Homo-oligomer: A and B are copies of this chain.
Amino acid sequence: MNLDDKVCQGHLASVDDALYVIGGKWKLRIIAGLRDKGTLRFNELQRIVKGISARVLSNELKEMELNGLVQRMPYTETPMVVEYTLTPYSETLGEVLTALSKWGAQHKDKIRKEVHAK
């Protein structure tokens, strides 16, 4: 394996490492939702991340908590209220989200123009 191949494999492995933690259908959408709204109760978060079930949202949040991205804040109230917020560490994802959002906007634009051109 030459040096170029090693660098490439490192790059690919790092993308894999990132997707292992924030890949899948929901996690980046949950993060984008919390980023926009700040702190949210479970139900509010479920409403914003359209289409997610309570069970899946709960699992996703647990994984994201373990990875230091989301903070769970339970209050001793009746009925118990749990709020979720992003950790300061989650801000390291800013560049990823900005890049995704920019790409999403330009891709939509491209598709729109192609449809118009037909």
Contacts and interface: CB of A to CB of B under 8 A. Distances in A.
A31 B36 CA distance: 29
This chain's copy number in the assembly: 2
Interface string A18-59: 111111110011001100110000000000100000000000
Interface residues of A, number: 45
Contacts of A36: 8-9, 11-12
Contacts of A107: 17-18, 21, 67, 92
Interface of A: 8-25, 28-29, 32-33, 36-37, 48, 67-68, 89, 92-93, 95-108, 110
A71 to B, nearest CB: 16
A33 B11 CA distance: 10
Given A10-B105, A12-B36, A17-B104, 12 more contacts: A12-B32, A14-B102, A14-B105, A14-B108, A16-B29, A16-B104, A18-B100, A19-B25, A19-B100, A67-B107, A89-B110, A95-B102
Task: Specify the main secondary structure of chain A where it touches its partner.
Answer: helix
